[in-house]
Amino acid sequence: MPPVYPTLAVVAAVAVLGLERWYFRSGIFRSRAYWLSMIIVFAFMVPVDGWLTKLSAPIVIYDDDHTSSHRVVWDILTEEFVYAFALLTLVVLCWDRAAQR
């Protein structure tokens, strides 16, 4: 069995891709503003999520039996970026959908 956190993070990201493809159909992935803001948000995620999960004094503590144990930058688990992509893209899709009503 693969560890649960990276598995669920990928499932969430694929689910959001599926929602865009078959439900929202917003074309958000062709938007320059979306990608620019994602680059900026992911850059700021390093200090914020890094502070929350740094191994020296963690605020959020992971059981490495449940994670990939692969920490890309400042002890942030790689799957955190996949998780963030799913969460924040869903927010953006719902924000744009809410404008249409």
Three-class secondary structure assignment of 26-59: CCHHHCHHHHHHHHHHHHHHHHHHHHHHCCCCCC
Using CB under 8 A as the criterion, what x/- string covers residues 17-36 for binding other proteins?
---------------xxx-x
Contact of 40 with 34, CB cutoff 8 Å: no
Nearest approach in angstroms of CB 44 to other proteins is: 8
N- to C-terminal Cα separation, the chain: 44
Nearest approach in angstroms of CB 71 to other proteins is: 14
Q: In the complex, which residues of this chain contact other proteins (CB under 8 A)?
A: 4-5, 8, 12, 32-34, 36-37, 40-41, 44, 48, 51-52, 57-63, 66-67, 87-88, 90-92, 94-95, 97-99
